[in-house]
Structure 1
Amino acid sequence: MLTSGVILRKRYEIIYILGSGGFGDTYLAVDLDLPYQPKCVVKHLKPNSDPGVLQIVRRLFDSEAQVLYRLGNDSDQIPRLFAHFEEQSEFYLVQEFVDGADLSKEITPGKKLTEQEVTKLLQEILEILAVVHRKNIIHRDIKPQNIMRRHQDNKIVLIDFGAVKEINTMMVNSQSQTSVSVVIGTHGYMPSEQAVGQPKLCSDVYAVGMLAIYALTGIQPHELPKDPTNGEVIWLNWAKVSKKLADVLTKMISYHFRDRYLSAEEALQALNPPQRRQAPSRISNTPSPVLKRRQAPPRISNTPSPVSANNLKSFQFETVTVDAKGNITNRRNLKAKYFVEDLGNGITLEMVQIPGGTFTMGSPEGEKYRQTDESPQHQVTVPGFFMGRYAVTQAQYQAIMGTNPSRFKGEKRPVEKVSWDDAVEFCKRLSQKTGKTYRLPSEAEWEYACRAGTTTPFYFGETITTDLVNYHGSYPYGAAPKGEYRLQTTDVGKFPPNSFGLYDMCGNTWEWCQDLYNESYQGAPTDGSTWLSGKDNNIKLLRGGSLYVFAVHCRSAYRHRDAITNLRDNVGFRVVAVA
């Protein structure tokens, strides 16, 4: 057991132990490398010294750590994995510390929550679990103790994935010479197929359903009776709920996995059936009154009414190039043309002219840490267009929408916590106000504008530093040094632009694109237009990286995606108008 004051890797100082169990010891620690010394959680795994066991554990440890890295980058409601390492045949995971309380404080024996409260809780849990299931990852231990309510924003945070527990349980089993095959889960929340070591995505759905029933009835899942003829849980006798919610929960906890919703996404859609969208409409140049009830956003064509290239202004700027270590090797003074849109009350929007051209979209096979969905590389010819010099700011969003949903307040900071629908609605209202047609960029337009003629991983060159980009500076790319981790957005225009004169195309906030997400570029358009065919109409592309992610995720080719309804404090957008 580690004692207070122990420093791991000359960086992580142990404060005190948080808990012990079959999965190892967990400690609260501080990161001494960062000036504000943030708290973090250290999980310590100690297998026996058998070489065969160590080899298996090492392989599992590395592969599962990569899973946790990916999950933490996909959502701010999954604790980020900051580091994983091995020292003297012992294994360590360093994760984000979540300041909050688990749901066992909200859901307790004998206490019944209302249907409205449980429905809201179900939606919150299923939304974050859907992010996990889209990567075909099973949590395997959904229960109140593994779901936190974060103090700072009251959001649900999903913790303690079974993947890590599998490594530890495997180590315990190997010491006792039992089978390496293990079962992860908690009695009452674990369905029949998981109990025999064959969990599925719908096993998590079962656990969430049982958690909701516990909240409704005040009876713990393992105490509820089961029908001896078919194994179904009997619960409706102790709950007063609508037929709709009763039907959803009954399907979620069906004894046979084939009878359940296949994933959290399916359960979420059953809980909140999608509203029928109105037929696509053309955007008029005549402003229409703002309706009290929000209508479905119109589809915006990639060929809107043109923006005149007359009376454009010019601005000068300096852009830089760096070597593989992040040292600036070249500075260039360039010019770009733009026009200014007056949004009223002294608020303006600057739109930069992006010349048309042909570029290679995606990443080459030799690019470090490239993802499979960045291929195949393909030639795309993009017509000229105008793009926002900066991501849409909070002042600009307030001027058009009348609200500011952002967590990190500041008029010149990018607006965040906007869904894809919110971004499209902004474009619609901006179009109505100005008489021009604004929209989100296609993914091809975005990458073309980001690269600005470069073919390197970043538009700055082979790497980036936190002097150039707002990202998680503790995780650099290539040979670049570690840097600052700001933990908040920065004002737009703080860092040097790319060669087109566009700022913050790397880091700060992810930016919505029009396109649906596809797992590769097979069949992608080659004319710069939006790709509207895909497996899921609710999943859209995000590009550019953000303040929370590692440098690798800020590469020009890196592709991210999210549900169109999700609100995150590291997601914003910028607008396009066609020349």
Structure 2
Amino acid sequence: MPQPGDILRNHYKIIKILGSGGFGDTYLAQDIDLPGQPKCVVKHLKPNSDPAVLQIVRRLFDSEAQVLYKLGNDSDQIPRLFAHFEENGEFYLVQEFVDGVDLSHEIIPGEKLTEIAVTKLLQEILEILAVVHKKNIIHRDIKPQNLMRRRQDGKIVLIDFGAVKEVNTMTVNTQGQTSFSVAIGSLGYMPSEQAAGQPKLSSDVYAVGMLGIQALTGLQPNELPKDPTDGEVIWRNLANVTEKLADVLNKMVSDYFRDRYLSAVEALAAITSLQPQQRQVTPTVPIPQPQQRQVPPPPPSATPTKIITPSWSRRKIIKTVGFAGAGLGLAIVVPRLSQSNSVPITPFRIPSSSLQTFQFETVTVDAKGKITNRRNEEARYFTEDLGNGVSLEMVQIPGGTFTMGSPETEKDRESDESLQRQVTVPGFFMGKYEITQAQYQAIMGTNPANFKGEKRPVEQVSWDDAVEFCEKLSQKTGKTYRLPSEAEWEYACRAGTTTPFYFGETITPDLVNYGGNNPYGSAPKGEYRQQTTNVGIFPPNSFGLYDMCGNIWEWCQDVHNNSYQGAPTDGSAWLIGSDNNIRLLRGGSWFSDAWACRSDARLRYARANRNISFGFRVVAVAVA
């Protein structure tokens, strides 16, 4: 163990020890080879001494050091790594010294910060963490002590990445398999999946959320009570805070990782959206890619009750007050009769002479994403004039019977995609594209979208916004427009296919706008655009519908249920469920991993929620 006065590698003179723990020791040192002998920080990591481990540890240490070199070059709010080396089987990192104090001097036990102060603090932290998450790197140890307020400029600096600490906890069993004996992180800030040794980007989001709640309540994270039924943090009654910020924090600290913002970029967008003067700021990362990204002022809040909020379509629904999407606030909305209570709608007739035909090319890919087939197809449609040169193209979808849901063998399937069953869907007309910003502006007179562009899909619309659009469109045209039922949506998306995607076994960013860093199956990684794209630039499915995979999640009529047990088999919407506020979205988005773009993937969200990856397309109940 180095002592004050010791010189490492004839270069770094130890001044004093700064801290010590199970992972090693940290020292303040001087670089005696440089003019002025500037200060630096030396981290001494003491790995398992088992000889079988050292070679693997050495590779891991070098790899993680390269990450730190790059991060320090990417941001002045991450300490630069000057050197890394090994001596006598022990490992050393030499980093930039940050002259400042950590956030434990601002977040003090028993003292509550104001909402304005906490919102600003969260934004500062998430801006740095977004840089890290953009490179798909997990910090693993976000807490006040690892966030330094630099004296020079008052900026927050993110220190002490937990990944490097793995070298201290690696073991190798008799079969040569490696494992880590200790979960990296700090109690109270570490969510369950991280404690189990499977950290995600959203694990860091959880830690930042807990830090925010700590600042608002004056309580340490391990002092906060949790709901014994679902593990959710109970804190709302301990702080004086608006529903908008509470919703964001609740989503950040959801017990299940897929129910949170998936990265710091998405969380940053949600926090930024709470500050109207920064509405037009576009995120640069996943979230993000909600990710991930801000929004118009949220709808008025009502007195909150415990409602069921969204999940990224994993195994459970989390109970929290309100929503934490990139928009928002909670609005308790009176159900609209035409959608919520399933009033029968009489189809209108479209004369065959009014239908036009368009040609298009579809493609099929193999499991590696290589195009194996191209087909020329055609479909019929009619055009609705919305005024001012804006039109809406509605494609004829023939009726038929299909198998709804996913087989148990499908990769990354969810339990709520069961049970598979035969559903017969009558014919209908569906929007050729997702509703664009120009179309939404023509009907609603506003454009709430974050990623501006007349031909881009409108986003940041709630289920109720989409329903209102359909009602106003119906009034304008004299025809009946509505959201699709889930069965109609999946039937139209599949377009006769039974594979996970209508393109085949997988997708690629050449075919779909999604988070290309996270492919499906054997497909390679590809471009992650970090925003919506104009509708119609990717190949359609065999019905002539564009962007049914990716770009934006699309609202459906249905109330969420945990499985298809008891669901209608006639193509109609399922409007009976445990909570009328929870509605379904389909299709994945620009921010989604590939698995979420599958034809059968489902996303449940509170109907009042707005998000920069949420939009819709419409259905016309018409016969030709």
1:129 aligns with 2:171: no
SS of 1:427's partner is helix
Say which of 443, 467, 485 aligns to 2:510.
467
Distance change >3 Å, CA 150–CA 460, structure 1 → 2: closer
Residue 409 of structure 1 aligns with which residue?
Answer: 452
Residue 345 of structure 2 aligns with which residue?
Answer: 303
2:250 and 2:323 in contact (8 A); partners too: no
Residue 203 of structure 1 aligns with which residue?
Answer: none
Say which of 180, 184, 193 aligns to 1:64.
193
Distance change >3 Å, CA 353–CA 302, structure 1 → 2: farther
Deviations 1:485-524 (A, max 9, x none): 1111000001000000000000010000000011111001
1:536 aligns with 2:579: yes
Please show how residues 20-169 of structure 1 align to structure 2 within 5 Å. 41=139, 43-44=162-163, 45-46=165-166, 48=169, 57=182, 64=193, 80-81=201-202, 121-126=242-247, 129=250, 152-154=272-274
Deviations 1:87-106 (A, max 9, x none): xxxxxx887999xx968999
Say which of 354, 359, 363 aligns to 1:316.
359
Say which of 365, 369, 373 aligns to 1:330.
373
Measure the CA separation in 2 of the matches of 1:480 and 1:123: 39
* TM-superposed deviation, 1:27: 13
Distance change >3 Å, CA 277–CA 378, structure 1 → 2: closer
Provide TM-score, normalisation by structure 1.
0.62
Measure the CA separation in 2 of the matches of 1:107 and 1:476: 40
* TM-superposed deviation, 1:366: 1.0
Deviations 1:241-275 (A, max 9, x none): xxx99x99xxxxxxxxxxxxx9533899xx97946
1:510 and 1:544 in contact (8 A); partners too: yes
Root-mean-square deviation (Å) = 4.7
Residues paired across the two proteins, number: 420
2:364 and 2:371 in contact (8 A); partners too: yes
Distance change >3 Å, CA 11–CA 335, structure 1 → 2: farther
Distance change >3 Å, CA 426–CA 480, structure 1 → 2: same
* TM-superposed deviation, 1:276: 5.0
Measure the CA separation in 1 of the matches of 2:544 and 2:437: 21
* TM-superposed deviation, 1:387: 0.2
SS of 1:441's partner is coil
Please show how residues 396-545 of structure 1 align to structure 2 within 5 Å. 396-545=439-588
Measure the CA separation in 2 of the matches of 1:302 and 1:527: 14
Instruction: Kindly provide the amino acid, as one letter, of the partner of residue 545 in structure 1.
Output: G
* TM-superposed deviation, 1:308: 1.4
Measure the CA separation in 2 of the matches of 1:267 and 1:557: 24
* TM-superposed deviation, 1:356: 0.2
SS of 2:468's partner is helix
1:346 aligns with 2:346: no
Instruction: Kindly provide the amino acid, as one letter, of the partner of residue 250 in structure 2.
Output: L
2:243 and 2:322 in contact (8 A); partners too: no
* TM-superposed deviation, 1:398: 0.1
Residue 64 of structure 2 aligns with which residue?
Answer: 8
SS of 2:611's partner is coil
Measure the CA separation in 2 of the matches of 1:492 and 1:447: 19
Q: 394-403 vs 361-370, which deviates more? A: 361-370
2:419 and 2:565 in contact (8 A); partners too: yes
1:553 aligns with 2:610: no
1:363 aligns with 2:419: no
- Segments of 5+ residues of structure 1 without an aligned counterpart are 73-79, 82-92, 110-117, 140-146, 157-243, 249-261, 282-296
SS of 1:513's partner is strand
Distance change >3 Å, CA 570–CA 43, structure 1 → 2: farther
Instruction: Kindly provide the amino acid, as one letter, of the partner of residue 264 in structure 1.
Output: T
* TM-superposed deviation, 1:470: 0.6
Provide TM-score, normalisation by structure 2.
0.58
Distance change >3 Å, CA 558–CA 273, structure 1 → 2: closer
Instruction: Kindly provide the amino acid, as one letter, of the partner of residue 372 in structure 1.
Output: S
Instruction: Kindly provide the amino acid, as one letter, of the partner of residue 153 in structure 1.
Output: S
Instruction: Kindly provide the amino acid, as one letter, of the partner of residue 383 in structure 2.
Output: V
Measure the CA separation in 2 of the matches of 1:106 and 1:119: 8
Measure the CA separation in 2 of the matches of 1:358 and 1:267: 36
Instruction: Kindly provide the amino acid, as one letter, of the partner of residue 122 in structure 1.
Output: E
Instruction: Kindly provide the amino acid, as one letter, of the partner of residue 512 in structure 1.
Output: W
SS of 2:242's partner is helix
1:300 and 1:439 in contact (8 A); partners too: no
Measure the CA separation in 1 of the matches of 2:133 and 2:581: 40
Residue 613 of structure 2 aligns with which residue?
Answer: 570
State the identity as a percent: 52
Structure number, greater radius of gyration? 2
Measure the CA separation in 1 of the matches of 2:486 and 2:530: 27
1:102 and 1:149 in contact (8 A); partners too: no
1:11 and 1:31 in contact (8 A); partners too: no
Measure the CA separation in 1 of the matches of 2:330 and 2:361: 49
Distance change >3 Å, CA 507–CA 345, structure 1 → 2: same
Measure the CA separation in 1 of the matches of 2:179 and 2:582: 40
Please show how residues 157-306 of structure 1 align to structure 2 within 5 Å. 263-265=319-321, 274=332, 276-277=334-335, 280=337, 299=341, 301=343, 303-306=345-348
Please show how residues 372-387 of structure 1 align to structure 2 within 5 Å. 372-387=415-430
Deviations 1:274-320 (A, max 9, x none): 46557x36xxxxxxxxxxxxxxx775646333241422000000000
Instruction: Kindly provide the amino acid, as one letter, of the partner of residue 347 in structure 2.
Output: S
1:39 and 1:96 in contact (8 A); partners too: no
Measure the CA separation in 2 of the matches of 1:69 and 1:546: 25
Instruction: Kindly provide the amino acid, as one letter, of the partner of residue 426 in structure 1.
Output: F
Measure the CA separation in 2 of the matches of 1:501 and 1:458: 15
